[in-house]
A and B are shown apart, each in its own frame.
Chain A
Amino acid sequence: MSRYIIRRLLEAIPLLLLVSIAVFSLLQLVPGGPMGVYGRNPNLTQEGLENLQAKLGLDQPLHIQYLRWLEKALQGDFGHSYDTRRPALVEIGDRLPATLLLMTFTFVIVLLISIPAGVLSALKQYSAFDMVVTGLSFAGQALPVFWVGLVMMLIFYAWLKNPVTGKGLLPAAGMYTLGQPFSLVDRIKHLILPSATLGLAWVSWYSRYLRSSMLDVIHQDYVRTARAKGLRERVVIFKHALKNAAIPLVTVIAMDLRTFFSGSLFTEQIFSWPGMGRLFYRAAERRDYPVLMAVVMMTAVIIILSNLLADIVYAYLDPRIRYE
């Protein structure tokens, strides 16, 4: 196993290099460029534009630009944002904690809800409980995130009012109330709506996957064997069935780990959460290449690591799985 892990880590290096070349080329091929944001500016002069391009190194041939980027990136310097002129890593560092907070908070709640829901739903297939859970999970996946967010904001902020303050029941924007000292309650209140918006689809997906794979597993012979051996139901479920049923869920969670880093644009946009999703979208609009490359490369590392982690977990969950 450890050989496998080392091999995977070594494979990651050329992969990351390829990704960087491919994404760099993609950004250049796409129409538009970093000077586009200045196009509507009546005060821009051609000379000023050319000076700016020279300073940012945009007048160099493409392969030189890439090599310079690579050279600095390997030393940990991802350049300066074309938009704000601050270091790209600082821009990321400003927003990453907010995204991590929202994602972790949501993720924990999602797991706490979806695992029991999925398992029980499978065990009690076709019962009323199952019908309700299945129905809700279908509904949860059937609505676009931005729509859910707006509706939640309208309901809980615009229509429902806090009887004491007269303001909205739950806050609609930001991480905390300005001008007030730190308050845990305040922070949690600000987390509720974005978390609910984000988590709705998440809970639905996870409980569906879990239910489906539990159903696959509990009909299998070894589960019946375990029951026949006289093991308690709880042991049968958690020790035998759930471990195998978890495999698809692990796959899905591993895929979702990258969003801990890259954030969710719609939720952040609607609830003005100062996170990575907005940063990426803003950088994409403005073709802010340094920030884009930095975000993509960091996300790539996370993706590679999380898939490796998933593979390791598979081997732990299902001893039949073996890697050469």
Chain B
Amino acid sequence: MSQPLIAEPTAVENHAQLMEGRPVETMRAIIWRQFRRHPAAIAASSVLLVIVLTSVLAQWWWPHDPEAVSVMNRFEPPSLAHPMGTDRIGRDTLARVLYGGRISLSVGLLAMVTATLIGTVVGGVAGYYGGIVDGVLMRLTDFFLCFPRLFILILLSFLLRETNIPFLQGGVAPIVLVIGVMSWMMVARLVRAVFLSIKQAEFVTAAHAYGASDARIMFGHILPNSVGPIIVNATMGIAWAILSESGLSFLGYGVLPPTPSWGNILSDAQESMSLYPWVAIFPGFMIFVTVICINFIGDALRDALDPYKVVGLQRGQ
């Protein structure tokens, strides 16, 4: 028997369920139920939610200004007034971590989404059509891989600075663009590899036979079966984007101070890490926790979206 398509309940199976008195479940319900079986992921989602909410709502609940300089109070250890201590020029680290969270999280998310979208489309089309299309797209991928990321970043920062839009001026857009535009290649190759394998499968031939369009086959049939590596890559991609931003800040090119981001707080702190370790511990800890949570969620999602698992569930396993 050929491999099932994405396990949409067929009319027959729905009917069987109705007859047995079980409610017909939608895909979404199945996935959600599968997800809930991972307690770690549930916990991780809650933690992540807390982090996101506290960052986004920071100005309403935390009184300190992340840019308020107070040189006399530099490098104060954690205290009630400053639970995470103060930094090199006396700014409250907790405030900076909260506001920085907004930037780091949005950089991570946006960059990952950009990279995943571009990469999936490019890789999918290349893998599916093969031949010349594959050749051209893969050479394009190779081309982008050869570019030194650093220079693209410097150039983009320079070009975008000329525009006077405040959000762009803060330096976030160049980072997102650079990380996104320079990471899609990995996704593309991953997706292409999967498409190359799967496109020979029988269910694809069957779909061709009954006249499904290429787009429907690619995105309706093959893609859902390759969702595993994409999700894994996407969750790691967020982590990687946040860490990349941190690395670029270390080199002096990331989000430009005084705008805080976890990355640049960490890179500023590493200079005095052996003297005042708390300055580096807290932002590092935030990155650590966020990335772990995202990974747990991604792992659970991967399991939840695994079509074989879903099918197995339907069949009572």
The answer to A–B direct touch (Cβ < 8 A) is yes
- Contacts from A to B (Cβ < 8 Å): 7, 11, 15, 18-19, 22-23, 26-27, 29-31, 134, 138-139, 141-147, 150, 154, 158, 205, 208-209, 212-213, 215-216, 219-221, 244, 247-248, 250-252, 254-255, 258, 265-266, 280-281, 284, 292, 296, 299-300, 303-304, 307, 310, 314, 318, 320-324
Assembly CA distance A251 to B187 (angstroms): 10
Residues of A within 8 A of B145 (CB): 255, 258, 303, 307
Does B62 count as interface, using CB distance less than 8 angstroms?
Answer: no
Assembly CA distance A247 to B189 (angstroms): 10
Q: Known contacts A31-B158, A212-B302, A314-B196: does B143 contact A324 (CB below 8 Å)?
A: no
A31, A318, A324: the one contacting B197 at CB < 8 Å is A318
Residues of A within 8 A of B130 (CB): 323-324
B190 and A284 form a contact (CB under 8 A): no
B186, B232, B280: the one contacting A147 at CB < 8 Å is B280
- Name the residue of chain B whose CB is nearest to the CB of A307: B142
Residues of B within 8 A of A251 (CB): 186, 189-190, 193
17 contacts across the A-B interface (CB closer than 8 A): A7-B135, A18-B143, A30-B151, A141-B239, A141-B291, A142-B291, A144-B243, A146-B270, A158-B274, A209-B232, A250-B193, A251-B190, A254-B189, A255-B145, A304-B142, A314-B193, A320-B196
- Name the residue of chain A whose CB is nearest to the CB of B271: A150
8 Å CB interface, B129-168 against A: 130-131, 134-135, 138-139, 141-143, 145-148, 150-152, 154-155, 158
Assembly CA distance A29 to B156 (angstroms): 10
- Name the residue of chain B whose CB is nearest to the CB of A284: B150
Does B299 count as interface, using CB distance less than 8 angstroms?
Answer: yes
Chain B: number of interface residues, binned into ranges: 35 or more
B292 and A142 form a contact (CB under 8 A): yes
A255 and B186 form a contact (CB under 8 A): yes
Question: Min CB distance, A95 to chain B, in Å?
Answer: 17
Q: How many A-B residue pairs have CB under 8 A?
A: 165
Residues of B within 8 A of A280 (CB): 148
Does B236 count as interface, using CB distance less than 8 angstroms?
Answer: yes
Give the one of B142, B190, B246, B302 with max A CB within 10 A: B142
Main secondary structure of the interface of B (DSSP, over half): helix
Assembly CA distance A249 to B304 (angstroms): 22
A146 and B250 form a contact (CB under 8 A): yes
B236 and A205 form a contact (CB under 8 A): yes
B146, B193, B250: the one contacting A296 at CB < 8 Å is B146
Q: Known contacts A27-B151, A212-B302, A307-B189: does B146 contact A142 (CB below 8 Å)?
A: no
A281 and B251 form a contact (CB under 8 A): yes
8 Å CB interface, B191-239 against A: 193-194, 196-197, 200-201, 228-229, 232, 236, 239
Assembly CA distance A281 to B131 (angstroms): 38
Q: Known contacts A30-B154, A150-B273, A292-B148: does B299 contact A134 (CB below 8 Å)?
A: yes
Assembly CA distance A18 to B193 (angstroms): 25
B146, B186, B247: the one contacting A19 at CB < 8 Å is B146
- Which 4 A/B pairs are nearest by Cβ-Cβ distance? A142-B291, A300-B146, A320-B200, A219-B308
Residues of B within 8 A of A314 (CB): 193, 196
Question: Min CB distance, A48 to chain B, in Å?
Answer: 27
